[in-house]
Amino acid sequence: MQRRPTPSVSPFFRSLLSHGLILFLFPLAVFAQEGKPHFSYSDLRNYNEALASIRSGTEAELAFTVYFEKASPGFKAWIDRYNLNPKKFAERVNKRPKFFESLQNMEERLKALETEIAQGYEAVLQIYPDPFAQALPTYYFITDLGGGGSAEPLGVIMGVDYFGLTAENDLGEFPEGIAPKGRIPFADFGNISHVAVHELVHWLQQSLQGKIGYERIYQDSAESTAMAYAIREGGAEMIVRLATGLEDTERNTFGRAHERELWEAFKPHLLMHVDDAKGWFSGRFKDGREWPFQIGYYMGLEMTQYYYDQAEDKDAALLEIFSANKPEHFIKFVQRYAQKFSN
* pLDDT, position 9: 40
Q: What pLDDT is stored for residue 34 in this prediction?
A: 54
CA atoms within 13 A on the CB side of 223: 18
pLDDT of residue 161: 95
Q: What is the DSSP string of 115-137?
A: HHHHHHHHHHHHHSS-TT--PPP
Cβ(105)–Cβ(9) under 8 Å? no
> Domain segments of the chain: what residues?
39-203, 221-341
**Strands 149-152 and 155-159, how do they pair?**
antiparallel
Nearest Cα to Cα of residue 32 among 130, 141, 108:
130
Alpha carbons 74 and 141: distance in angstroms, whole number: 8
Residue 313, number of CB atoms within 10 A of its CB? 11
In this structure, are strands 138-141 and 155-159 parallel, antiparallel, or unpaired? parallel
CB neighbours of 288 closer than 8 A, spacing ≥ 6? Answer: none
The Cα 88–Cα 105 span in angstroms is 23
Each of the 343 residues of the chain gets a pLDDT tens digit; together they read 333 333 444 444 444 444 444 444 434 433 444 568 999 999 999 999 999 999 999 999 999 999 999 999 999 999 999 999 999 999 999 999 999 999 999 999 999 999 999 999 999 999 998 888 889 999 999 999 888 899 999 999 999 999 998 888 898 999 998 888 888 889 889 999 999 999 999 999 999 999 999 999 999 999 999 999 999 999 999 999 999 999 999 999 999 999 999 999 999 999 999 999 999 999 889 898 999 999 999 999 999 999 999 999 999 999 999 999 999 999 999 999 999 998 6
Tell me if 131 sits within 8 A of 4, measured CB to CB: yes
Quote the CA–CA distance of 137 and 128 in Å, as a whole number: 18
In this prediction, residue 35 carries a pLDDT of: 63
Q: What gap in Å lies between CA 144 and CA 184, rounded to an integer? A: 11
